[in-house]
């Protein structure tokens, strides 16, 4: 028995590496999404639009128009951000002694600093534009499975779906096993908790939970052509501004102070209603396959 233990340990230590290698090789990842209707597993990949030509289908022209409009809004928002922060400094200045202590620090947020922030954002947007999300699904639906084994059964079935157009799909079909379907923390999303968390008010908001929910909602809205979701989370929208303020508040520094001021002005009721609509649209696009 003792002689077998080293072999068991070696096998156990190599398994996670093998799973990681599979997903890296095929450039597809397992995703876990919790919706009000249950927790489901699916697959997601990011590819250049040219690689998804066969899956572009209807609505690509409208999507181009939407993306162009979103980019225009983003440019306007960046141009107005400095002015908006300056206005925040003036709001309620007589009632907050903290602003007096921060005047000097605010002056240090000069144009060079703002230009550098805008450059970083432009680079991030350019990187995101290079690749778009695509999910296991078809015809505007995302396929969800209550268990990893059902997901694996479907993948091995050879059924046509939006991911089967990828050049690495045949390799995944050949290699995938139940033990491989272990989503990473960053690929696990809890949309079922968003509404309840928002109802708790600003002091109870879980920034990480809400930010991650925005990430998966944007991906699903884009990949499945869910117009209301895309509009709700488009650059310059109230939910997008809310998301940005949460990120800034979490980052620390002087920017986080201004972000916390913005968050105190957010309507919890409005954010809750909008997120409820987003989650409802995503739930309607979920196709539970088992």
Average confidence score pLDDT of the chain? 77
In a domain, 82, yes or no: yes
Q: List, in order, residues 6 or more apart from 260 with CB less than 8 Å away.
A: 249
Low-confidence ranges of the chain (pLDDT < 50): 1-3, 5-14, 54-63, 65-66, 68-75, 77-86, 88-111, 113-114, 257
Write down the pLDDT at residue 200.
Answer: 87
Write down the pLDDT at residue 61.
Answer: 40
The structural domain count of the chain equals 1
Write down the pLDDT at residue 46.
Answer: 97
> Rounded to whole angstroms, how far apart are CA atoms 137 and 142?
4
Residue 228, classified by CB atoms within 10 Å of its CB into exposed (0-12), middle (13-18) or buried (19+), is middle
Residue 235 domain boundaries: 25-288
In a domain, 5, yes or no: no
In a domain, 79, yes or no: yes
> Rounded to whole angstroms, how far apart are CA atoms 211 and 275?
12
Write down the pLDDT at residue 2.
Answer: 47
Full-model pTM: 0.70
In a domain, 20, yes or no: no
Write down the pLDDT at residue 99.
Answer: 45
In a domain, 53, yes or no: yes
Write down the pLDDT at residue 255.
Answer: 54
In a domain, 164, yes or no: yes
In a domain, 264, yes or no: yes
In a domain, 4, yes or no: no
């Amino acid at each position: 028995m003792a002689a077998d233990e080293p072999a068991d340990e070696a096998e156990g230590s190599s398994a996670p590496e093998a799973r990681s290698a599979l997903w890296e090789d095929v450039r597809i990842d397992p995703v876990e999404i919790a919706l009000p209707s249950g927790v489901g597993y699916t697959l997601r990949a990011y590819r250049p639009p040219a690689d998804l030509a066969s899956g572009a289908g209807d609505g690509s022209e409208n999507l181009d128009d939407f993306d162009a409009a979103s980019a225009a809004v983003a440019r306007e928002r960046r141009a107005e951000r400095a002015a908006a922060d300056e206005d925040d400094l003036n709001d309620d200045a007589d009632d907050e002694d903290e602003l007096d202590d921060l005047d000097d620090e605010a002056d240090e947020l000069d144009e060079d600093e703002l230009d550098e922030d805008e450059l970083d954002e432009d680079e991030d947007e350019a990187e995101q534009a290079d690749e778009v999300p695509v999910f296991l699904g078809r015809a505007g639906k995302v396929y969800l499975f209550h268990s990893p084994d059902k997901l694996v059964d479907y993948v091995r079935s050879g059924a046509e779906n939006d991911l089967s157009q990828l050049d690495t799909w045949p390799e995944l079909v050949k290699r995938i096993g139940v033990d491989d379907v272990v989503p990473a923390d960053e690929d696990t999303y809890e949309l079922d908790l968003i509404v309840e968390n928002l109802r708790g008010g600003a002091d109870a908001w879980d920034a990480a939970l809400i930010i991650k929910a925005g990430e998966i909602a944007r991906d699903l809205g884009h990949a499945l052509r869910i117009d209301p979701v895309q509009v709700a989370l488009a650059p310059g929208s109230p939910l997008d501004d809310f998301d940005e303020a949460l990120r800034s508040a979490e980052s620390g520094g002087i920017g986080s102070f201004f972000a916390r001021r913005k968050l105190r002005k957010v309507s919890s009721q409005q954010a809750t209603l909008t997120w409820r609509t987003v989650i409802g649209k995503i739930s309607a696009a979920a196709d539970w396959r088992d």
